[in-house]
Chains A and B, each alone.
Chain A
Amino acid sequence: MSADFLRVEGLAKDFGGLRAVSGVSFSMGRREVIGLIGPNGAGKTTLLRLITGILRPDLGTINFKGISISGRKTWDIVNMGIACTFQNMRPFRRLPIIANVMVSCLSPRAMKRGEWVKKIEAKAMDALEFAGISDMALEKASTLSQGDLKRLEVARAIATEPELLLLDEPFGGLSPAETELMAKSIKRLHKGGRFGRLHSEGPAMIIVEHKLQQLMKIVDRIIVLDFGTIIADGTPEDVVNNPQVIKAYLGQGGL
């Protein structure tokens, strides 16, 4: 596949006087998995929100599969095949967990791709099964632990069967065992295949994460942001040895 699956050019976003993202440009291929790292406040989450249309860019363009998505509504972007999870989880707390996922299953994209699926609940259940929380499907989302909420976020995102998945700190707040499990799930998802009534085409991924050791096992390439600009872009090995990255983010201790 060409490297123009997602092309971001000269992206900028200001919040009042603060420039959160400044002239960010990169492109990625259809099967690529990119790690997005950087110090807190570097603009990682803002960049993801710009791609998903939750925020509107002040400058720059975003092209997905050759079509400009800058300024489009979030639901349009999701229905084109981009899904995201949130760093601060946003479950529908008073709804059962299965209903949380059913909302995604009711999106036009999911409905079109799963026309043959008679029951939305069954498809939602398969997404929960994949995320490993199907046994809690009937519990209210407010009762879930931090780790299970992260899984719920993933289940909600994959229910739309995306081609590009943006994961914002998927390992945040997870124990080492849970982190291991989540990493396995992400790899399995990227491999693609059928999970019950869900079909994963092996989505490309952009993963924002601070747990670098886990991240390095998953990603093909790492982009480092600092003060809203890209300071490094390359293979994980190149990036961790980059003096600028060591100075801005990793410190002398490295990983």
Chain B
Amino acid sequence: MSLIGYYTRKTYTICKEEVLVLPGRVAVGVFFLTVLLLPLFSQSPYLLRVMVLSSIFAIFAASWDLLSGFTGQMNFGHALFFGVGAYSTALLNIHAHLPPWASIPLGALAAVITGLVVGIPCLRLRGTYLALTTLAFPIIVLGIVFAIPDVTGGELGLSGLSRLTGTRLWDYYLTVIVMLAVCSIMWKIANSNTGIIFHAIREDEVAVRASGINTTRYKLMAFCLSGFFAGISGGLYAHFMRIAGPSTLEVSMSFTVVIWAVFGGIVTIYGPVGAVFILFPLLEFLRFWPEYRTLAFAIVILLILLYMPEGLFPYLRDKIETECPRCKIRNVATRKTCRICTAPLE
């Protein structure tokens, strides 16, 4: 009992001193609680389906941010990892009869290998050339999918995968918990020493080499990590939808993930995640006006990018928090002095 009491007090202290002091952290905490407690208020199958798909695409968008936002390897063919993850998972499930807990990680490993295959020829490319080259890969794989319909199911894709779990509610909890865990891991990587090197590669690759860092290794690592996480989202998608079709590899899929990330704010991880939880349900909501759906969606995105060029969430964060000019610690915007060094915050 004393141990429980100790951890309760410790959790309370962390919440009080680390989370409640910054509105941005409180917002993340509220998001965690909301997605975990949502089924207590509604178990509408439609709502749960939208939230499950949002969770899956949130992982996908964050994985793009890790590669293109942090490391600067502009990937316009990110659907490749999603599609390879989905198809590999489907093949393993249908032909090898592997359950989802085995087929999804193995599908993600297939996406890692794809990351290496894409990463190696892209090592010498940057900017527009890299973007165009990466764009070509999912189109090539899509051609392969159509060329061997006996294996891939051709235009119809592979259907009849086993369900993710037994019920829609457990599907929801599984995907949400995986999403929260995977996105937290990506955020942790982005803020680690490896993340600093990713940042630096985006800024100036030659200078990173001159600092003694093997940039080839780190760029390939970024491709593989991003491929792994996107592969997990592809595997979850295949099991949840019970189909892996050519739509997972389409160009529109690759561009949608860029729109999500730019809308939410790149080089943040939390930005693309938040953006998916706004834009995906919004697109569903706009089904009430099917003829204006795409137009309204485009207007929302254009307005956000016009007034918040760094993305929605960095903009909101800067509105509710300020950075101390002396110690660079973030504070609530209403504070007059820094909570750590007491310097005036203007």
A contacts, CB < 8 Å to B: 52, 54, 73-75, 78-79, 83-84, 86, 90-96, 99-100, 102-104, 106-110, 120, 138-139, 156, 159-160
Contact = CB atoms under 8 A, between A and B. Distances in A.
Contact of A99 (B199, B207, B212): B199
Given A75-B215, A120-B193, A138 B203 contact: no
B110 to A, nearest CB: 30
A93 B203 CA distance: 7
A78 B196 contact: no
Q: Is the interface of B mostly helix, strand, loop or mixed?
A: helix
B207 A160 contact: no
B328 interface: yes
A52 B210 contact: yes
B197 interface: yes
A104 B328 contact: no
B203 A108 contact: no
The 10 A-B residue pairs with the shortest CB-CB distance, nearest first, are: A107-B212, A78-B212, A92-B203, A90-B207, A74-B209, A104-B211, A138-B328, A92-B200, A103-B200, A103-B211
A136 to B, nearest CB: 11
B200 A54 contact: no
Contact of A106 (B207, B213, B327, B328): B213
B193 A156 contact: no
Interface in B176-210: 193, 196-197, 199-200, 203-204, 206-210
A91 B215 CA distance: 16
16 contacts: A54-B206, A54-B210, A74-B209, A74-B210, A75-B212, A75-B213, A78-B209, A90-B206, A91-B207, A92-B200, A92-B207, A94-B203, A100-B200, A106-B213, A109-B212, A160-B211
Given A90-B204, A92-B203, A96-B328, A103 B197 contact: yes
Given A75-B215, A104-B212, A156-B207, 16 more contacts: A54-B209, A74-B210, A78-B210, A86-B207, A90-B210, A92-B207, A94-B203, A95-B203, A99-B199, A102-B196, A103-B200, A106-B197, A106-B211, A110-B212, A120-B193, A138-B327
B44 interface: no
B214 interface: yes
B219 to A, nearest CB: 12
A160 B207 CA distance: 13
Interface of B: 193, 196-197, 199-200, 203-204, 206-215, 327-328
Nearest to A81: B212
Contacts of B197: 103, 106
B65 to A, nearest CB: 15
A95 B211 contact: no
A149 to B, nearest CB: 12
Contacts of B193: 102, 106, 120
A104 B209 CA distance: 9
Contacts of A79: 212
A118 to B, nearest CB: 13
A165 to B, nearest CB: 12
Nearest to B215: A75
A39 B196 CA distance: 38
Given A93-B203, A95-B203, A96-B328, A106 B210 contact: no
Q: Give the most central of A54, A92, A104: most B CB within 10 Å.
A: A92
A75 B214 contact: yes
A103 B196 contact: yes
